[in-house]
Structure 1
Amino acid sequence: MSEDDPKTLVSTDWLAQHLNDPDLRILDASWYLPDMGRDARAEYDAAHIPGARFFDIDDISDQRSDLPHMAPPPEKFVSRLRAMGVGDGHQVVVYDGAGLFSAARVWWLFRLMGKTDVAVLDGGFAKWQAEDRPVEDLPPMVRDRHMTVQRQANLVKDVTQVAASTKLGDATIIDARGAPRFRGEEDEPRPGLRAGHIPTSVNVPYKSVLNDDGTMKSPDALTKVFEDAGVDLSKPAITTCGSGVTAAILSLALERTGHRRHALYDGSWAEWGMFNDLNVETGE
């Protein structure tokens, strides 16, 4: 797989070359945990890649759920994206302000809706700015664009399906949280959640698939990261994390290795850690 793949990951060089393509749509999908002390919308308003629209992960979600930013119903996804001028026939590039943190979640959401012409910007806005590439503070000119979606149910798992996999062993459950949280040695950032991890799951902290500059490791290096962590890449995979955001980084990494049978547990630890009748493991 080449470095630039418009269905998974593109470089800042690629985006700079295609910036004026009429059918390119750029989305700023920045999102931060409260302890990061950053305001994604304010940062977008101050400076963004020319033409970028702001994709609010918390708003474009299933508001009927008590869980954070669960995947939205297809009709809500369509209406929000149409209003942003994003639709059929567009090549979408998603980035975030942390390098590669929340953008993969939106890549996965597009995939869930059956849209495959979507890539994450490798290294994100930080790399774009470090290279002194153009930015603007103007809202983009938006024209409504028709969008059709077809939800791909195989790309998402609910708590019942994940619980079944822990017993059947039919998929490897891969947890993207940091090792101290995985082992239950660190309190969860969301109050009321137990500490630990889903039984049978393995830990691949999302930072382990990234380089120091926030870009994603090469496909060969990614394969080694997964295999060293005990992931059997011949089996289906289920990615999970705290609330379904960084799990998508592992989903993107799996896709980059050529692994095609992966799904994301949307409720993640925000759901599993809440229910006392679900088993929890601690330690390695």
Structure 2
Amino acid sequence: MDPLVSTQWLADHLADRDLRVADASYHIDLPGEPKRDAAAEFDVGHIPGAVFMNLAGFSDPDSSLPSTMPNAARFASRMARAGLGDGVRIVLYDDASHVTAARAWVMLRAFGFTDVAILDGGLTKWRAEGRPIETGEHIVRPRHATPRAQGRDIADMAEVRAALDGDAQVVDARGRARFTGAEADPRAGVAPGHMPGARNLPYKQVFNPDGTWKRGQDLRDAFAAAGVDPARPMVMTCGSGITASILAFAAHLLGHEAAVYDGSWSEWGADPSTPKAAGDA
């Protein structure tokens, strides 16, 4: 299974016995953004046979930071509850403004689940094509999930400091105004700006106007325009590790792997000991 599958491919394979489809929608609900309820939206309409992953429930409840990775026990429990355990292929999709299926993809791979794909264009494209929609809660058969790794391609602050001092590229997925510091961070107590030496590749630049992922030369051009060489080591960052995952998936589409800084700017920008810069890269 390719890491990015089309709506037609999914329609053709929905009945495959070893395939599971999961709605990975998660709404960050930053200050000023309209509130959305991912679970309620799933009940109103989802791809037939899909399960609601409840991506928000995977986060570490003991962390002071938003959206951080769970430990292995919590991950296994949440996966099993969603029927997304061992021995199945998983296709992830979302209907979220921050394309959170990419965050789920990063998390599953961090725990050793590699037979995972993202639906190109998500639920928006599926609906636009007039494909069938199911309503109500989907009955889930729990399935045992065995984490085979932990923390693969997930970076902490120490690793990001080392990357800034070394050969690795730190790539920030936030919009330009937040990266330069022209716009205040939406989270209280978090400074504006970016990590010194980081490059800025706003996550929206890896998508086509219709919401599908750029591929091939178009995607390479997006990285090049930001001054990023995907063939060199990369650590992706953003506000809370969500859109950084989009850049990690985009790098994967180009045949390269990148780490995701889990704490991202929510951690770095709130720590008075970390260096910070303003303006363009």
TM-score, scaled to structure 2: 0.95
| Counterpart pick for 2:3 among 4, 8, 14 | 8
Q: Which residue of 1 aligns with 2:230?
A: 233
- 150-159 or 82-91, which deviates more: 150-159
User: Does the Cα contact within 8 Å between 1:99 and 1:123 map onto a contact in 2?
Assistant: no
Amino acid at match of 1:197: H
Structure 1 residues 99, 22: CA separation in 2 closer, same or farther (over 3 Å shift)?
Answer: farther
User: Does the Cα contact within 8 Å between 2:111 and 2:152 map onto a contact in 1?
Assistant: no
SS at the partner of 1:48? coil
Amino acid at match of 1:46: V
Q: Which residue of 2 aligns with 1:161?
A: 159
| CA–CA separation in structure 1 for the residues paired with 2:8 and 2:95 | 17
| Counterpart pick for 1:42 among 36, 40, 43 | 40
**Equivalent pairs: percent with the same residue?**
47
Shift of 1:98: 3.2
| CA–CA separation in structure 1 for the residues paired with 2:218 and 2:147 | 33
SS at the partner of 1:222? helix
| CA–CA separation in structure 2 for the residues paired with 1:219 and 1:149 | 32
User: Does the Cα contact within 8 Å between 1:99 and 1:125 map onto a contact in 2?
Assistant: no
| CA–CA separation in structure 1 for the residues paired with 2:271 and 2:136 | 45
| CA–CA separation in structure 1 for the residues paired with 2:97 and 2:263 | 24
Shift of 1:24: 1.1
Q: Which residue of 1 aligns with 2:56?
A: 58
User: Does the Cα contact within 8 Å between 1:87 and 1:145 map onto a contact in 2?
Assistant: yes
Q: What does residue range 67-146 of structure 1 map to in structure 2 within 5 Å?
A: 67-98=65-96, 101-146=99-144
Shift of 1:40: 1.3
CA RMSD of aligned residues (A): 1.4
Structure 1 residues 188, 99: CA separation in 2 closer, same or farther (over 3 Å shift)?
Answer: closer
TM-score, scaled to structure 1: 0.94
Shift of 1:188: 1.2
| CA–CA separation in structure 1 for the residues paired with 2:95 and 2:115 | 22
| CA–CA separation in structure 1 for the residues paired with 2:140 and 2:229 | 45
| CA–CA separation in structure 1 for the residues paired with 2:28 and 2:71 | 24
| CA–CA separation in structure 1 for the residues paired with 2:179 and 2:269 | 11
| CA–CA separation in structure 2 for the residues paired with 1:19 and 1:234 | 35
> Where in structure 2 are there 5+ consecutive unaligned residues?
none
Shift of 1:144: 2.3
| CA–CA separation in structure 1 for the residues paired with 2:34 and 2:9 | 29
Shift of 1:33: 3.0
Q: Which residue of 2 aligns with 1:283?
A: 279
Shift of 1:36: 3.8
Amino acid at match of 2:203: Y
| CA–CA separation in structure 2 for the residues paired with 1:164 and 1:267 | 15
Q: What does residue range 181-220 of structure 1 map to in structure 2 within 5 Å?
A: 181-220=178-217
- 138-147 or 114-123, which deviates more: 138-147
User: Does the Cα contact within 8 Å between 1:158 and 1:267 map onto a contact in 2?
Assistant: yes
Amino acid at match of 1:188: D
Give per-residue Cα distances to partners, 1:156-183, cap 9 Å, x unaligned. 1001110121122x21001000011000
Shift of 1:41: 1.5
User: Does the Cα contact within 8 Å between 1:220 and 1:257 map onto a contact in 2?
Assistant: no
| CA–CA separation in structure 2 for the residues paired with 1:203 and 1:124 | 25
| CA–CA separation in structure 2 for the residues paired with 1:71 and 1:88 | 20
SS at the partner of 2:56? coil
Shift of 1:271: 0.5
Shift of 1:70: 0.6
| CA–CA separation in structure 1 for the residues paired with 2:59 and 2:129 | 33
Amino acid at match of 2:249: L
